[in-house]
Amino acid sequence: MKKVLITGAAGFLGSHLCDRFIKEGYKVIGMDNFITGDSKNVKHLMNHSNFEFIEHDVTNFISIDGELDYILHFASPASPIDYLKIPIQTLKVGSLGTHNLLGVAKEKNARMLIASTSEIYGDPLVHPQTEDYYGNVNTIGPRGVYDEAKRFQESITMAYHRFHGVETRIVRIFNTYGPRMRLNDGRVIPAFMGQALRGEDLTIFGDGSQTRSFCYIDDQVEGIYRLLLSDYVYPVNIGNPHEISISDFAEEIIKLTNTTQKVIYKDLPVNDPMQRQPDISLARKLLGWEPKVQREEGMKITFEYFKNLTKEDLHKSEHKDFTDYIK
C-alpha cells in the first residue's frame, strides 16, 4: 500500500484530497495545525484504518516514521482575510514549511507536489494566463506576502529537483469552490452565499467588471491527482477557463438563492487582480484533463452545503482569532 502525506489536510482542498487518496487505496497521513483548517473537515476519516492524523505546524521540524511515497503540500492560508491577518505565518509556511517538506521528500525518496496558485501571476498583463507568463506582482503590497510565498515555494522546489534530484510537481490552482469552504473565507463565493442566506445585501468590491473563473472541487482534485502521477516537473495550471465578471456572478447568485437583496459596491482592495482566467492547454495536452462540472451544477451543490450549516456557523464572527499564531 502506497503512503501519502497531505499537509493542510483539514483545509478545504486538503480534506478533499484526503478523501480521494483514501478512495484510491492509499495510506494517508493528514497533517494540519488548524490555523485556518477545521477538524470537522476530516472528522469522517478519523476512524478509518488507512488514515492517520498528525496535528503539527510544518514550519517546525517534521519527522515521519517508515516509508513515504508522496507528499502533497497544501498547508497555507489561502484567502485574503487569513493572510492579511497572519502575514508572517503565510510567508513562513511557503518558505520554511516547504523547505522542511522537501527535506522529508529527499530523505524518503518521495515525490512531492506543491500547491502553487494563480496569484503568482499577480494582476496579470497577459490574458488568459499561461504557465510561461512570469506575472505582475507587487512584492511590497499587502497581498505580496501570499504571492511571494508561493513564488518562492516554486523556486525552492525546482532547486531541490535540479540540485538534489527530488521528484517534484507544481500545480497552479485557480479559483476553486465546493462543499467545506468556510463561510468566513472572504472569497466571493462563500461571501455572496453567506450574505444571501443571512438576508444581507451582496457586496462587490470595485465596479464588478473584474473577472474570475471558478473550478468545482471534484475537477480540481482530479487534475491534481493526474499531475502527481505524471512525468512533468514544471508548473501546470489547473482551473476552469470559463470566465465571468463579478457583477454577472452576483446576478447568478441572486437567481440561485432566490433572494431579493440589492448589490452594493465598495472600494477595490489594493492589488486585487482585475482578470483571472487560466489557459489550460498544457493540462489538456499532458494530463488529458479539463473540467467537467458546469458552474450551474457546482453552485447548486455548494449552496445546498451552506444551507445545511447551523445558524451558529452562519452567524459566527467573520474573522478567526489568530492571536496565538502571531509570533
| CATH code of 314's domain | 3.90.25.10
**Which range, of 8-12, 256-260, 316-320, averages the lowest pLDDT?**
316-320
Query: How much of the chain exceeds pLDDT 70, in percent?
Result: 94
Q: Where residue 105 falls among pLDDT bands split at 50, 70, 90?
A: very high
The C-alpha cell of 234 is what?
514544471
In a domain, 327, yes or no: no
Q: Are residues 195 and 82 in the same domain?
A: no
- Catalytic residue flag (residue 146): yes
In a domain, 234, yes or no: yes
User: Catalytic: which of 26, 70, 146, 177?
Assistant: 146
Q: Are residues 262 and 155 in the same domain?
A: no
Question: What confidence score (pLDDT) does residue 315 get?
Answer: 64
Nearest to 255 by CA among 210, 192, 314: 192
Q: Are residues 161 and 199 in the same domain?
A: no
Q: Are residues 82 and 230 in the same domain?
A: yes
Give the Cα separation of 275 and 95 in Å (integer): 27
Q: Are residues 142 and 197 in the same domain?
A: no
Q: Are residues 132 and 164 in the same domain?
A: yes
Q: Is the pLDDT of residue 323 over 80?
A: no
**Which range, of 7-11, 94-98, 211-215, averages the lowest pLDDT?**
211-215
Mean pLDDT on 229-235 = 98
User: CA torsion sign, 6 to 9 to 14 to 17?
Assistant: positive
261 or 84, higher pLDDT: 84
The per-residue pLDDT for range 82-91, each reduced to its tens digit, is 988 999 999 9
Question: What confidence score (pLDDT) does residue 316 get?
Answer: 60
Give the Cα separation of 190 and 145 in Å (integer): 23
Q: Are residues 67 and 135 in the same domain?
A: yes
What is the model's pTM? 0.93
Cα–Cα–Cα angle for 97, 325, 61, rounded to 5 degrees:
30
In a domain, 326, yes or no: no
The per-residue pLDDT for range 120-154, each reduced to its tens digit, is 999 999 999 999 999 999 999 989 999 999 999 99
**Mean pLDDT of all residues in the chain?**
92
> DSSP label at 204?
E
Q: Is the pLDDT of residue 325 over 50?
A: no
Query: How much of the chain exceeds pLDDT 90, in percent?
Result: 80
Q: Where residue 107 falls among pLDDT bands split at 50, 70, 90?
A: very high
Q: Is the pLDDT of residue 320 over 80?
A: no
- Residue 270's domain spans which residues? 188-209+243-274+302-321
Number of domains in the chain: 2
Q: What phi and psi, each to the nearest 5 degrees, are found at residue 97?
A: -60, -45
Q: Where residue 312 falls among pLDDT bands split at 50, 70, 90?
A: low
Q: Where residue 324 falls among pLDDT bands split at 50, 70, 90?
A: very low
Amino acid type, 275: Q
Q: Are residues 64 and 199 in the same domain?
A: no
Question: What confidence score (pLDDT) does residue 55 get?
Answer: 98
Question: What stretch of H or E contains 216?
Answer: strand 215-216
Q: Are residues 261 and 307 in the same domain?
A: yes
Question: What confidence score (pLDDT) does residue 185 get?
Answer: 84
Q: Are residues 37 and 93 in the same domain?
A: yes
Q: Are residues 280 and 266 in the same domain?
A: no
